[in-house]
Structure 1
Amino acid sequence: MHEEYIKNLFNNCNVGKLLGIEVYDLKEGHAKGKLTIRNEHINVFGTVHGGILFTLADHIGGACGNTLGKKSLLIESTMQFMKGVLAGETLFAEAKLCYAGKRIGRIEIKVYRENEEIVAMMHMVFYMKSDDHKTKTP
């Protein structure tokens, strides 16, 4: 039940909807999503803009962190870009929880093509608030 709520929350997020990101698999400590690259996602050099890859990874990582029952917010992240991506390609992102303490956690997200070739990796550190998802955060 909780996972369906989080999946719905992230699939109805304004930024995710604007870019076309879909969370399609979610369970505690794990999330998967996808994005088909459109012309609007392309940078001046003809490949996907790094900010689009970052947002995809951040969005799926955020969904993963929020499966733990508390509001989880990004504190810090690093990203490595490995391959260029063209318009028309569908990218997948998979987030896995690596560590969860009382308040701080760490997630690894890989972004890859349909053939499983990795195009980017993100490592994120997140903070788990003491309130649950029923409480509004300003």
Structure 2
Amino acid sequence: MSTLVKTNGLPSFRSMMEDFWNTDKFFDKPLFTGEQLPAVNIRETKHNFELEVAAPGFKKEDFKISTENGLMTISAETSKEQKEETENYTRKEFSKTAFTRSFKLPENVEEEKIKASYKDGLLVVDLKKSDKVLPAKKEVKVD
């Protein structure tokens, strides 16, 4: 299962310290923006890989899943707006939530047969394995 790679996008302590001492980066990008990536579980069975993405607060229409050059990208975006007007004031609140996660697909995944479903805050992506047997080892002859 080592061919599926996930990244959490969170800064390491070292990069935060480097950003702190580099004033251009420190003032250009806040250290803690409140952005968080959804948790992902990856399970492998005999016939498929299954990704579970914990993403409550979205609708199935908010998700976009695409593949290109062996890389699968899952992204979602939602926004909410609330407006209250009275005689003396207008209050408008809005929020936007978005994320993007990318995964390197194993060579034995059939990209055209990827399926996804979303229910109760959980996005489940089913990656069917190919029936073709991949060679365990390949040697290249040097001329």
> TM-score under structure 2 normalisation?
0.32
> TM-score under structure 1 normalisation?
0.33
Structure with more of its chain in helix, by fraction: 1
The structure that has the greater radius of gyration is 2
